Amino acid sequence: MRFARPRAFEVDYLITPALGGADDIHNLWPESYEATVWNAHVKDQLEDYLRDRVCAGTLDLPTAQRDLAVNWIEAYKRYFGTSEPLKEDRQQ
């Protein structure tokens, strides 16, 4: 989007620092809040879920990082067992 509203996007980490992502320009990308169903808010749900699992010791860090970096949408679908984003209050 060439003329997107600035508040419609966030500069997001590909791999969040909570999961060991670098605070580096190569780990940053613009992510829409509104453009698609698969937006910044949905990715945040997955990041929180993966962080919780890593901290609980039920998921290893390299797997969480790889799942975010390779295809976070497919990872979301697999972890949450759905083909579309869940409402925040319905997370597993």
Task: Report the pLDDT averaged over residues 56-81.
Answer: 97
Using 50, 70 and 90 to split pLDDT, how confident is the model at 2?
low
Compute CA distances 48 → 52, 71, 88, 91, whole Å.
Answer: 6, 16, 11, 11
> Which value, in Å, is the radius of gyration of the alpha carbons in the chain?
13
pLDDT score for 11: 87
More confident of the two residues 76 and 34: 76
Residue pair 27/15 in contact by the 8 Å Cβ criterion? yes
Alpha carbon distance 87, 53 (integer Å): 19
pLDDT score at 90:
47
Looking at residue 77, its pLDDT comes to 98
Give the mean model confidence (pLDDT) for residues 6-23.
87
Q: What's the confidence (pLDDT) of residue 46?
A: 97
Which tokens belong to 19? 């999961």
